[in-house]
């Protein structure tokens, strides 16, 4: 599963998409893969481009195709051909496939959804939640795990909303989050390293149920303590943070004492192939965790 990029699903197949020039642009390779079922969609795309360049109308079409950076399965972003819905219709027409009409209708429905969600924001929120559930199911998460993950997102939103009213802004959110992680677990970078994740991975998507519960407890406590102390501004909120982080820290330590093992779990939700690539990259020091430390030593 490709994470941290916008995706849409057609028959359980994912299509990457990004906002560009106030439009939704889709990965051409992903659409070709839908239509052909080929695992070599990129080669098919190159062959198709060679074929279409002989057509008079292709020059006009090619001007509406650009390259956007999409997240790949190795959690790195690479440039790939992309275009908007209308141009994608033209490309689909040039590919012989029994799925062509269904894919076109699906793309059109995505456009209609955007208009509907603009008129009804609540509908947009509901669909976002449904899409999130679909993504989590594709990562083999159980219904209980999905429910807990969605609850943790709600808690996080309440927490950040409260911090916003306390004058927190911009990078201060990530600084406070990292302090909270450091008190209870490890700092975010070390925590990700422990789970064989890269900087682009969403750490919370790879937490166990217990890790999520304790993280949620820390943020629930943070919301209540910030309110009770009426903390205003970064320094005051940071002082309160040290108290609410201790709530989760002490709970974690008490639990570990009872079960005789660490709650900090190295497991993640990466596929076997992804994990092998990460381990190989770690050995070759390509993940960049030690780059800053190396520079400082020099």
User: Which letter does DSSP use for residue 186 in this model?
Assistant: -
**Greatest CA span in the chain, whole angstroms?**
74
Q: Is 161 exposed, middle or buried (0-12, 13-18, 19+ CB in 10 A)?
A: exposed
Residue 73's pLDDT is 67
Closest to 222 in 3D by CA, of 231, 211, 213 = 231
Between 201 and 121, the higher pLDDT residue: 201
Taking the C-alpha atoms of 249, 219, 208 and 262 in order, what is their torsion angle to the nearest 10 degrees?
A: 0
Summarize pLDDT for 236-257 with one digit per residue, the tens: 888 887 777 777 788 888 888 8
Percent of all residues in the chain with a pLDDT value above 90, rounded to a whole number: 0
| pLDDT band with cut points at 50, 70 and 90 for residue 294 | very low
Q: In whole angstroms, how far apart are CA 225 and each of 154, 176, 217, 230, 239?
A: 18, 14, 12, 8, 10
| pLDDT band with cut points at 50, 70 and 90 for residue 1 | very low
Tokens representing 284? Answer: 């070759």
Sign of CA dihedral 162, 163, 164, 166: positive
Closest to 245 in 3D by CA, of 213, 289, 215, 209 = 215
Residue 116's pLDDT is 45
Tokens representing 65? Answer: 């195709």
Tokens representing 55? Answer: 């057509």
Give percent helix, percent strand, percent coil of the chain, each to the nearest 5: 60, 10, 25
**Residue partners of 171: CB distance under 8 A and separation at least 6:** none
Is the pLDDT score of 296 beyond 60?
A: no
pTM score: 0.52
* Helical packing angle, 172-184 and 209-229, nearest 10°: 120
Between 264 and 278, the higher pLDDT residue: 264
Summarize pLDDT for 160-192 with one digit per residue, the tens: 888 888 898 888 888 888 888 887 777 888 888
């Amino acid at each position: 599963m490709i994470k941290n990029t916008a995706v849409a699903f057609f028959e359980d197949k994912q299509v990457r998409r990004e906002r560009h020039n106030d439009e939704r642009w889709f990965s051409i390779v992903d659409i070709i893969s839908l239509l052909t079922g080929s695992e070599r969609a990129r080669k098919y795309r190159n062959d198709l481009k060679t074929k279409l360049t002989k057509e008079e109308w292709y020059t006009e079409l090619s001007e509406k195709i650009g390259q956007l950076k999409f997240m790949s399965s190795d959690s790195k972003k690479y440039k790939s051909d992309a275009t908007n819905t209308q141009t994608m219709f033209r490309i689909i027409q040039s590919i012989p496939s029994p799925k062509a009409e269904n894919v076109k209708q699906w793309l059109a429905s995505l456009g209609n959804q955007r208009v509907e969600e603009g008129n009804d924001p609540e509908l947009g929120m509901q669909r976002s939640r449904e899409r999130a559930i679909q993504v989590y199911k594709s990562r083999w998460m159980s219904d209980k795990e999905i429910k807990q993950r969605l609850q943790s997102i709600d808690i996080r939103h309440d927490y950040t909303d409260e911090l916003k009213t306390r004058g927190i802004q911009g990078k201060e959110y990530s600084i406070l989050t990292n302090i909270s992680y450091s008190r209870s677990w490890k700092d975010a970078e070390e925590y990700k390293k422990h789970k064989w994740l890269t900087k682009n991975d969403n750490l919370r998507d790879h937490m166990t149920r217990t890790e999520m519960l304790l993280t949620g407890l820390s943020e629930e406590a943070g919301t209540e303590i910030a309110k009770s102390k009426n903390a205003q501004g970064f320094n005051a909120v940071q002082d309160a943070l040290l108290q609410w982080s201790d709530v989760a820290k002490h709970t974690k330590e008490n639990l570990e004492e009872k079960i005789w093992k660490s709650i900090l779990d190295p497991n993640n939700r990466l596929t076997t192939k992804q994990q092998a690539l990460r381990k190989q990259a770690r050995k070759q020091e390509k993940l960049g965790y030690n780059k800053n430390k190396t520079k400082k030593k020099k």
